[in-house]
Amino acid sequence: MKIIFDKSDLLNSINIVLKAVPSKTTMSILECILIDATTDEIKLTANDMELGIETKCKGEILEKGCIAIDSKIFSDIVRKLPDSEVIIETDSSLHMNISCEKAHFNIAGKNGEDFSALPDVEKDKFIYLSQFSLKELIRQTIFSIAPADTSNKIMTGILFEIKEGKMKVVSLDGHRVSLRNIELKDSFDNIKVIVPGKTLNEISKILNGNADDEVRLFFTENHIVFEFDDTVVVSRLIEGNYFKVEQMLSNDYETHIVVNKKDFMECIDRATLLVKESDRKPIVFSIQDGEIELKIVSTIGSMNEKISINKEGKDLMIGFNPKFLLDALKVIDDETIDIYFLNSKAPMYMKDENESYNYLILPVAM
């Protein structure tokens, strides 16, 4: 095999597929990137058996072939090469020569035929939407999944539900729920799957976020496939039934406030200066006509601040984890926010009139 690349093209493709290289594995072949130039296209692939990424790379094929090469060594070498033409050659002993200007490397590779190819997924069920929409849906829900080491794996994923031309995306971690709804351009089959948070986090980093560029999502019983630009991402789905989120949501309330998002967020952010992560001290809302007072008391000190609001309903005192509040506020783009409360022991809801978003946060003891 002999291929000529522009360094920037090669490095960009490497950075895309690196996201599917496992950090720890007992199978050394999974630590590799496959360079496949057996056809008229050059493809780079990585696969950790749960998440696989394949992307096309620009380059000139002088001699066809394929090889699997250690991802860390390969990426480190290419990253530090001069910004120039990179020539990659392999020989019969599975060694790869990398040349760029006066720099020359020779590293051992593995047989490309031993590399685990991406699963062949049927593409009967699918939807499509803009890269911008998908990137935003992920950004506005990914923060409230549970950590990867949680005992309930369903909480480490995000629900994708397509029904009647609408797409609902939901995440939760036991303390909060994030929900986003969007209208799709066309009508598609009803679909309900749980996508690993890790997959969506990596997808979000690759998407260009352009509203004019499309991404196609294909669904099977066990896999989801994302196709966009010159890249294909295949991921296993999380098995099981998602939580009945509708039962957690309520339209009942006794207190409704409208607050300026910027003022509200900046006030909570200031309050967190007095909270160590180990303290878990709540920020307390005291809601009265025309204003909300925010208070926090910790081992470092105390703080209180008042913000003007529009209020409907009863006065209320209630406490929340300030981090959970900030996580939701950061992804809401509205200038003012509607917040609904039932009582001091029930969740609060931040949602818009059409419920294109709905963020539920459980209160904490004051």
167: CB partners within 8 A, 6+ apart: 127, 129, 137, 160, 161, 181, 182, 183, 184
Q: What is the pLDDT at residue 292?
A: 97
193: CB partners within 8 A, 6+ apart: 159, 160, 219, 224, 237
- Position 299 pLDDT exceeds 90: no
d(CA 166, CA 187): 8
Contact criterion met (CB below 8 Å) for 286 and 306: no
Q: What is the pLDDT at residue 363?
A: 97
Average pLDDT over residues 131-149: 97
- Position 92 pLDDT exceeds 90: no
Token pair of 237 as six digits: 């789905």
Q: What is the pLDDT at residue 141?
A: 98
Nearest to 51 by CA among 18, 74, 83: 18
Average pLDDT over residues 174-185: 96
* pLDDT tens digits, one per residue of 340-356: 999 999 999 999 999 89
Nearest to 300 by CA among 279, 274, 281, 321: 274
Nearest to 169 by CA among 153, 191, 147: 191
Percent of the chain clearing pLDDT 70 (strictly above): 100
305: CB partners within 8 A, 6+ apart: 267, 270, 271, 293, 294
Nearest to 193 by CA among 132, 147, 127: 127
Percent of the chain clearing pLDDT 90 (strictly above): 90
The band of 336, judged by pLDDT with boundaries at 50, 70 and 90, is: very high
d(CA 159, CA 168): 8
d(CA 233, CA 331): 25
Q: What is the pLDDT at residue 75?
A: 98
- Side-chain-side CA neighbours of 23 within 13 Å: the count stands at 1
Nearest to 13 by CA among 59, 63, 66, 47: 59
* pLDDT tens digits, one per residue of 314-323: 999 999 999 9
Amino acid at 264: F
Average pLDDT over residues 206-228: 95
Confidence (pTM) = 0.94
* pLDDT tens digits, one per residue of 100-131: 999 999 999 999 999 988 988 888 899 999 99
Domains of the chain: 2-114 (3.10.150.10), 125-245 (3.10.150.10), 249-361 (3.10.150.10)
* pLDDT tens digits, one per residue of 33-61: 999 999 999 999 999 999 999 999 999 99
